[in-house]
Structure 1
Amino acid sequence: MDSSRSSSDRASPDQAPAEQALASAIEATGLSPSLKEEARLVKLVARSLLPGASTIPVAEYERLLCEVRRKDWAAALMNQSRRAGELWISKADIQEAVSHVHDPSAEASDLRAALDERLALRFRDMGHTPRDVLEAVQADLTDAGQFLSGGQIDRLAQVIAASFGVEDTGFEAELIAQEKARKAEEERIEARAEARRRRENERLRAWEESLVGFDRVPALLHCSPREALRWMAENRLPVARRTPQPDGTELFEFDPEVLRRLRPQLVEWRGGSRETAVPQTGRKVGNAVIARVAALDRYVAHFKTARALKRRITLVTGPTNSGKSYTALNALANAESGLALAPLRLLAHEFRESLLSRGVPASLATGEERIVFPGARHLAATVEMCPFHNPVEVALIDEAQMLMDPDRGAAWTAAIMGVPARHLYILGAPDCIPLIRRIAELCDDPLDEISLERKSPLRAAGAPLRLRDLEAGDALIAFSRREVLDLRAELLTLGKRVAVVYGALSPEVRRAEAARFNNGEADILVATDAIGMGLNLSIRRVVFSALRKFDGKQTRDLTAQEIKQIGGRAGRYGHHENGIVAVLGEAGTPAHIRKMLAAPPEPVTELRPLVQPDADIVRAVAEEIETDSLYGVLVRIKRAVLRADDPNYRLADMEQAFEIASALEGVEGLGLTQRWTYAMCPIDERDNGIARLIHWASDHAAGRNVPPPGTGRLVQPAQAGREELERAEKRHKRLVAWRWLSLRFADAYPDREMAERNTTTLNDWIEAVLRQQSRERGHQKRGGRQNDNRSRTRAPAGDDTRRPVGPRKGMKKQGKSRR
């Protein structure tokens, strides 16, 4: 407020009561707000005024002024701490500090004193000694991808020591030395990786420069051009590289060393035998030779156990809630041996429980856990854990439409082609039918098809909805973690009890949240499309908050299949007579939902299944090109194995594996297969995942045990904000990766018991945070609105004045999870 205005101006009779009360408080205290602060203060004073009053107590005015100024105080402290390089000070620390400042005229020194007091309390709560606390703070920062310099460690050590009343801070010298050693090792690893990558690239370039055109082939083979053409048509001459030309033709190039080694076979070829002999190889190996070794263009033959069986495939398709799994599970339970493959760890658990409930002993295998039931001849597993060498009588593979997923589709291709079962049940949405037919044709397996209809009707709602219209049994769908939590907060202010499900939550927490919704502890479920698989939910109505999503590359409209798959979760058979699919008014129209639900399956234009190499293929290619470099092997596979126009298969996206392999080049002491295992580890690249993985691999290679990630400091669930929740979710993901590696490298990752304890602790804490219904906050917000309405015109009935809920900005793709 402009302090030049007189007190008579401030208190003129025609001013609103709130403005009069504010003017009186300013005159009584001498504390003048800025123009920006004044607008907010008027609203807060209006809420605090009793009916008929025109003044507020001085203490209440000072409290409100502090509330208004805390945002600027927090920003000033954050800027100060970042300029000073105090990375250990979090936003939560600063917000907690300014919440305890009650003097509206507080100076910068007062704010810093409050922050230092807050830090001292936190540090004393983190450990028993300054050394323990310093190591814990460093670990948290490292987990977040932040590393302290020697000077920063020294400063942090002094602050922690002061918190404990200790003056001697000599203990940080050892930690500074450790930090220097860590950085030096990282630099050595990167330097070695760069040198090895350069060597492999130079080697590949030298080979490519040695290639010759077809005009040189007769001279190298000592044959006529006619013979060379015939032998190339008979696929006897390996083409090293095919380069498309502008006129639509291809330029063929050949490896001269490979051609020279073919000369002894010319007599046999001229004798009329049409069987192609694989040429002997040396260091220079043609791409066609590598393609033969990798056999990705003959991928179906890679699964010898499955090919030795007389398999029969039954494809069961239908929409969600059509009972696809019931028949297959019964057949599986009645078989002497069987296998159930699921897309998610959570669904693998459900398959195992279904078998156990039918009296069938079953074990479990997922990327990060094993449950062995002695004597069991049935196994429930995630798709990536398919055992390719153990024949069973019946197998079940669920969610076959995942064949088209760019990240995980290759795992479904391998499972369907390679599962060693005499009778294979494949379950999926109708969209997968053309691709399953093609795979069955490639496998030469007979195929039966069963098409099921939905058990309970599914229809579009008659009108768009508002948030306040949501009722018990509704599931509200968003497409990012941030939007799920935003919508949850808004529903809480409306007095709703809310459960949430999104991809970053562990299967255990997702199941707990689903149980809260199913048993009535929560009225509404707010979820991402993670509800589409692996959860039995008693949903009456699915409500879309948006009809667009970010798919990792672009923000696009939802497809008809996505709307059917998600919307089909409504109306669970036996619980609801029908299912209803609705949309919030700002996001779309019921007519669009109705059109999508009635749309036929989208035509599948790409019938080539996705494939990728496995450990056996990687080893075979490495032997052929005589290298122990995983980077070199993957570069050659990308260049050589599958042409873009291969008629049968497509090479899957292997970018993350390639990046890990590239970084691993600098780690000495790991074998090729061990490197490939690390390249397949499920990590989150956005959480410094590759750097952390290389650090673990370096310890492994050096013979050092890799300790499991910790839980970090977990505040009381009622005090946890989104920052703390996200940090805990990231730590859980790191534990998933650590446990995945522990099952494959038990000697290097031995403390599995601690990892399980930390995982359980985080799951319990995250679940407790999500269970907090924030009723006090909700009541305060509703009470504030009611008080505010005393000085405002009430909105017309039915007019939702809340912010629009429609297509969101800033949606981000969840981290891959391939295991």
Structure 2
Amino acid sequence: MSRTGLAVEPREESALLRRIGRALAPGAREIPDDTFIAALCAVRRKRWASRMMDLTRREGRIWISREDMEQAAASVDDPAASDPMLLNALEPVLAARYRELGDTPKAALAALRADMLDTGRVLSSAQVARVAASIASAFGLADGDRFAGGAQREDEERAENEAAIERAAQARRRREELRLEEWEQSLVPFRDVPRILHCSQREALRWVAENRLPVARRVRQPDGFELWEFDPAELVALRGDLQEWRRGGQDESGVHRREGGRDARGRHDTALPEPPAVGKHVANAVIARVAALDRYAAHFRTARALARRITLVTGPTNSGKSHTALDALARAESGLALAPLRLLAHEFREALASRGVEAALATGEERIVAPGSRHLAATVEMCPFSNPVDVAVIDEAQMLFDPDRGAAWTAAIMGAPARHLFVLGAPDCIPMVRRIAELCGDPLDEITLHRKSPLRAAPSGVRLNDLRTGDALIAFSRREVLDLRAALMERGRRVAVVYGALSPEVRRAEAQRFNSGAADILIATDAIGMGLNLSIKRVVFASLRKFDGRQTRDLSVQEVKQIGGRAGRYGKHEDGVVAVLADAGSPRFIRDRLAAAPEPPEELRPLVQPDADIVRAIAAEIGSDSLYGVLARIKRAVLRVDDPNYRLADMEQPFAIASALEGVEGLDLTQRWTYAMCPVDDRDNGIRRLVGWAAEHASGQAVPPPGTGRLPPPDRAGREELERAEKRHKRLVAWRWLALRFPDSYPNREDAERATAELNDWIESVLRQHSRARTRR
């Protein structure tokens, strides 16, 4: 018990004594009572915040954040604060937060609910009413009860609409599944074909080989054999063609004639007779031809009509791959530059401008028109397949192996309508590009470049305290990047960061801070490996293992070379050094990976996926307007798992979106496919939000752009608020993507672009402010 009459708990004594010691004046033996009270309050604030968490969660007020509670606890100046006093301290903090969420009570409530959905928490109607009443009070709304009641009714209506959409979706999905099951149950095995067609088994085998008899389904057996199944209705309809097939199947010597060979350009001609499309239930083999997924190159008719030549330019990072290709592109009368990121598409456009060529821009989120220009810079997914050009450049071809985006590179390389196509990439893409050129029948030239400055492995590990100006520290998660950032700033270092959740604009600003010397050290994920020009002397790995979305594994040879190759920028550093943090792994691992030859790819079949034309064609063939039904057929049987030429890309997210959209009435097949391609992150409940937007669109309502939400002063923003802003930015990216495709339903693009710019500026200010504040302390 102190002289203030306040009892100090044993667990508080150590922290309290430290604070008292710091507060004592030189030579003094006591501190004033108010100083003692302030010190005791400081010690108890963490416990008060935890108590507020317990109290508010019991009341169901799950929208109150940890930062709110910590801010409220910081305002309490009574060491003996009771539970009611703690809850009262929350009220002004919450009122200020609500006013920062929007300009009106309605906008604030919408922003709060969106933030909650990002974290996977959905408010009940009663909770919506309660928080709406608090928001009304914060805004000084005279009739707060009416606002709260209206918010509750709207939420109940919204919940009922969502439930109705899900019920309708379940019914439609089941209908499509039954359609597919009924058709599959009607199929017959190969042994029944001769009986149905009145032919010999040998004839039936020959006609299958000639693609005259469509194999409806191929079922792989555990022993490796394949069972063929056929649609009996289709077989019966083909009986009238048998005599012609028999006459055309032999030449004068009685030897069977195989159609095919090579065309006038020496390409393999795989145009065997198409399986006839008959009946209502069309065979998967027929659908595969419609989809062109088992001979995907033929889908790109403009490219196949051109006498294309491909030049593959490979080399490690800092080998100057793009210089020659961009020079050729600038000299051409018309051209196309395809980049993996929006930021890089902008850089391609700027590179062409520096060579005196104005180019238009097309990315998922924006368009820049250049009247009269015949050059376009775009992201790979925006490749125009119908407008022939003289020269095209496709960068980062090693992305062919990426499970999420690889199919876009397959389509771009196969379908870019250019007479001369430059493909740029790391050495490990060589066998895949060769395979694609072979499938397209295009001649391929290869150019191999080498680094302009040497790259070497450090002989020993590097301690965190020994990091130097110009170092880049590589981690493999956002959390680890921010942890390392905090640790370095505690040591007085100025730090820039780059990780995947940051927008391209913020990444570029952080890179500029590092390049200019405003930051000593760059901490980044493997997002550093693409799209940024960085003046790095040494790359230091904080870990030699990463989680790739499926498993935690060692870094591959290509990953070490691609990331480590960022060290030693030509013209600024004589060489580049690649190291590992002490105790994070063996320097020998780095040395061996840098010296190793490119790892042979496990799979050389390029990834493919349908586009809008293919989706529409399959829907017409199976007689369904259900995107779920179309994708279910593709996923289930259109492209064989063991197809010799192609692999079906992972369609899990488009399939999930299509499944959720089944209950939304008023959208046609093409519109549904567009929504299925929208870049959303389901870890933030992105699909649920997307379905809500689609329902508003289908009902004729305008979908308002998401706002920036609460943006506190940068010097008061913590990690949680930074992550919240990053998620709001992702919402805006998805909304802007849809606004380009459905401008009537997604108006006010200017507001969305302003909000995006505001978020980018705020996030960059937070990163800069934290550096300055930490350095001052």
Shorter-chain TM range is over 0.9
Q: Write the distance in 1 (CA, Å) between the matches of 2:100 and 2:433.
A: 57
**2:117·2:685 contact (CA, 8 Å) conserved in 1?**
no
Offset of 1:150 from its aligned partner?
3.2
Offset of 1:541 from its aligned partner?
1.1
Q: Is 1:678 matched up with 2:675?
A: yes
Going from structure 1 to structure 2, the CA distance change for 1:351 and 1:234 (only over 3 Å counts) comes to: same
Q: Write the distance in 2 (CA, Å) between the matches of 1:244 and 1:139.
A: 46
Q: Write the distance in 2 (CA, Å) between the matches of 1:128 and 1:342.
A: 39
User: In structure 1, what is the equivalent of residue 464 of structure 2?
Assistant: 467
Q: Is 1:265 matched up with 2:262?
A: no
User: In structure 2, what is the equivalent of residue 752 of structure 1?
Assistant: 749
Q: Write the distance in 2 (CA, Å) between the matches of 1:199 and 1:477.
A: 50
User: In structure 2, what is the equivalent of residue 19 of structure 1?
Assistant: none
User: In structure 2, what is the equivalent of residue 175 of structure 1?
Assistant: 151
Q: Which letter does structure 2 place at the counterpart of 1:242?
A: R
**1:683·1:737 contact (CA, 8 Å) conserved in 2?**
yes
User: In structure 2, what is the equivalent of residue 203 of structure 1?
Assistant: 179
Going from structure 1 to structure 2, the CA distance change for 1:672 and 1:574 (only over 3 Å counts) comes to: same
Q: Is 1:216 matched up with 2:192?
A: yes
- Of 665, 668, 678, 1:668 maps to 665
Offset of 1:145 from its aligned partner?
4.7
Going from structure 1 to structure 2, the CA distance change for 1:501 and 1:608 (only over 3 Å counts) comes to: same
CA RMSD of aligned residues (A): 1.9
User: In structure 2, what is the equivalent of residue 555 of structure 1?
Assistant: 552
- Of 205, 209, 228, 1:252 maps to 228
Offset of 1:593 from its aligned partner?
1.4
Q: Is 1:153 matched up with 2:128?
A: yes
- Of 340, 343, 348, 1:343 maps to 340
**2:128·2:155 contact (CA, 8 Å) conserved in 1?**
no
- Of 473, 478, 491, 1:476 maps to 473
- Of 74, 77, 90, 1:115 maps to 90
Q: Write the distance in 1 (CA, Å) between the matches of 2:468 and 2:132.
A: 53
Q: Is 1:713 matched up with 2:721?
A: no
SS, match of residue 171 in structure 1: helix
Q: Write the distance in 2 (CA, Å) between the matches of 1:600 and 1:61.
A: 67
User: In structure 2, what is the equivalent of residue 541 of structure 1?
Assistant: 538
Q: Write the distance in 1 (CA, Å) between the matches of 2:103 and 2:647.
A: 57
User: In structure 1, what is the equivalent of residue 377 of structure 2?
Assistant: 380
User: In structure 2, what is the equivalent of residue 187 of structure 1?
Assistant: 163
Q: Is 1:764 matched up with 2:739?
A: no
Q: Write the distance in 2 (CA, Å) between the matches of 1:371 and 1:166.
A: 44
Q: Is 1:84 matched up with 2:81?
A: no
SS, match of residue 731 in structure 1: helix
Alignment of 1:626-775 (within 5 A): 626-775=623-772
Q: Is 1:62 matched up with 2:37?
A: yes
Unaligned runs of at least 5 residues, structure 2:
250-258, 260-271
**2:493·2:520 contact (CA, 8 Å) conserved in 1?**
yes
For residues 35-93 of structure 1, the C-alpha deviation after alignment (integer angstroms, 9 at most, x for no partner) is 32233334444444566665444333332322222111111111111121113312111
Q: Write the distance in 2 (CA, Å) between the matches of 1:586 and 1:190.
A: 51
User: In structure 1, what is the equivalent of residue 255 of structure 2?
Assistant: none
User: In structure 2, what is the equivalent of residue 603 of structure 1?
Assistant: 600
Q: Which letter does structure 1 place at the counterpart of 2:579?
A: A
SS, match of residue 395 in structure 1: strand
- Of 357, 362, 368, 1:360 maps to 357
Q: Which letter does structure 2 place at the counterpart of 1:90?
A: S
Q: Write the distance in 2 (CA, Å) between the matches of 1:433 and 1:128.
A: 55
Q: Which letter does structure 2 place at the counterpart of 1:192?
A: A
SS, match of residue 597 in structure 2: coil
Offset of 1:318 from its aligned partner?
0.8
Offset of 1:779 from its aligned partner?
4.8
- Of 72, 75, 81, 1:97 maps to 72
**1:290·1:640 contact (CA, 8 Å) conserved in 2?**
no
Q: Is 1:315 matched up with 2:290?
A: no
Going from structure 1 to structure 2, the CA distance change for 1:45 and 1:594 (only over 3 Å counts) comes to: farther
Greater shift after overlay, 770-779 or 708-717? 770-779
User: In structure 1, what is the equivalent of residue 214 of structure 2?
Assistant: 238
User: In structure 2, what is the equivalent of residue 75 of structure 1?
Assistant: 50
Offset of 1:776 from its aligned partner?
4.2
Q: Write the distance in 1 (CA, Å) between the matches of 2:454 and 2:223.
A: 55
Going from structure 1 to structure 2, the CA distance change for 1:239 and 1:681 (only over 3 Å counts) comes to: same
Q: Which letter does structure 2 place at the counterpart of 1:110?
A: M
**2:715·2:770 contact (CA, 8 Å) conserved in 1?**
no
- Of 496, 501, 525, 1:499 maps to 496
Q: Which letter does structure 2 place at the counterpart of 1:107?
A: S
**1:318·1:453 contact (CA, 8 Å) conserved in 2?**
yes
Offset of 1:171 from its aligned partner?
2.3
Q: Which letter does structure 1 place at the counterpart of 2:560?
A: I
Q: Which letter does structure 2 place at the counterpart of 1:572?
A: R
Q: Is 1:410 matched up with 2:385?
A: no
SS, match of residue 621 in structure 2: helix
SS, match of residue 341 in structure 1: strand
Q: Write the distance in 1 (CA, Å) between the matches of 2:736 and 2:96.
A: 33
Going from structure 1 to structure 2, the CA distance change for 1:512 and 1:54 (only over 3 Å counts) comes to: same
Q: Write the distance in 1 (CA, Å) between the matches of 2:633 and 2:381.
A: 24
Offset of 1:124 from its aligned partner?
4.4
SS, match of residue 741 in structure 2: coil
- Of 487, 509, 515, 2:506 maps to 509
Going from structure 1 to structure 2, the CA distance change for 1:673 and 1:123 (only over 3 Å counts) comes to: closer
Offset of 1:181 from its aligned partner?
1.3
User: In structure 2, what is the equivalent of residue 17 of structure 1?
Assistant: none
Q: Write the distance in 1 (CA, Å) between the matches of 2:17 and 2:639.
A: 69
Q: Write the distance in 1 (CA, Å) between the matches of 2:772 and 2:504.
A: 26
Q: Write the distance in 2 (CA, Å) between the matches of 1:764 and 1:332.
A: 34
Going from structure 1 to structure 2, the CA distance change for 1:167 and 1:426 (only over 3 Å counts) comes to: closer
User: In structure 1, what is the equivalent of residue 264 of structure 2?
Assistant: none
**2:496·2:522 contact (CA, 8 Å) conserved in 1?**
yes
User: In structure 1, what is the equivalent of residue 619 of structure 2?
Assistant: 622
Offset of 1:167 from its aligned partner?
6.2
User: In structure 1, what is the equivalent of residue 268 of structure 2?
Assistant: none
Offset of 1:605 from its aligned partner?
2.9
Going from structure 1 to structure 2, the CA distance change for 1:379 and 1:162 (only over 3 Å counts) comes to: closer
Q: Write the distance in 2 (CA, Å) between the matches of 1:617 and 1:166.
A: 54
**2:100·2:709 contact (CA, 8 Å) conserved in 1?**
no
Q: Which letter does structure 1 place at the counterpart of 2:149?
A: A
Q: Write the distance in 2 (CA, Å) between the matches of 1:602 and 1:649.
A: 21
Going from structure 1 to structure 2, the CA distance change for 1:726 and 1:384 (only over 3 Å counts) comes to: same
Offset of 1:216 from its aligned partner?
1.6
Q: Write the distance in 2 (CA, Å) between the matches of 1:92 and 1:247.
A: 60
SS, match of residue 216 in structure 1: helix
- Of 318, 324, 332, 2:329 maps to 332
Q: Write the distance in 2 (CA, Å) between the matches of 1:132 and 1:691.
A: 20
Q: Write the distance in 1 (CA, Å) between the matches of 2:430 and 2:332.
A: 26
For residues 298-336 of structure 1, the C-alpha deviation after alignment (integer angstroms, 9 at most, x for no partner) is 111111111111111111111100111111111111111
Offset of 1:151 from its aligned partner?
2.3
Q: Which letter does structure 1 place at the counterpart of 2:346?
A: H
Offset of 1:497 from its aligned partner?
1.2
Q: Write the distance in 1 (CA, Å) between the matches of 2:345 and 2:104.
A: 44
Q: Write the distance in 2 (CA, Å) between the matches of 1:393 and 1:133.
A: 52
**2:454·2:574 contact (CA, 8 Å) conserved in 1?**
yes
Q: Write the distance in 2 (CA, Å) between the matches of 1:432 and 1:167.
A: 66
Aligned residues: 755
